[in-house]
Amino acid sequence: MKVTLLDHTQDPEVRIGQMAAICYDSKTDRESCIKRTAHCRDSGHLATLRFAYATFNISGISRVCSHQLVRVAHAGILQRSQRYVKESNVEFVVPESVRTLPPELYDKWAGTLARSQQLYLDCIDAGMKKEDARYILPQSCTTDLHISMNFQGWKDIISNRTAKHAQWEIREVFIEIDRQLGQVAPSLFGRTE
**Count of Cβ atoms closer than 10 Å to residue 58 Cβ:** 23
Name 56's Cβ contacts closer than 8 Å, sequence gap at least 6: 3, 4, 5, 6, 146, 147, 148, 177, 180
**Count of Cβ atoms closer than 10 Å to residue 122 Cβ:** 12
Report the C-alpha gap between 24 and 38 in whole angstroms.
Answer: 14
CB 36 within 8 A of CB 17: yes
Scanning the chain, the segments in alpha helix (DSSP H) are: 12-24, 30-43, 63-69, 96-99, 103-125, 130-133, 151-161, 168-184
Q: Rounded to the nearest 5°, which phi and psi values hold at 74?
A: -95, 20
- Which candidate in 15, 63, 134, 161 is catalytic? 161
Q: Which of 79, 65, 80, 84 is nearest to 133 (CA)?
A: 84
Q: Is 161 a catalytic residue?
A: yes
If you ran DSSP here, which 8-state letter would residue 162 be given? Answer: T
**Residues acting as catalytic residues:** 161
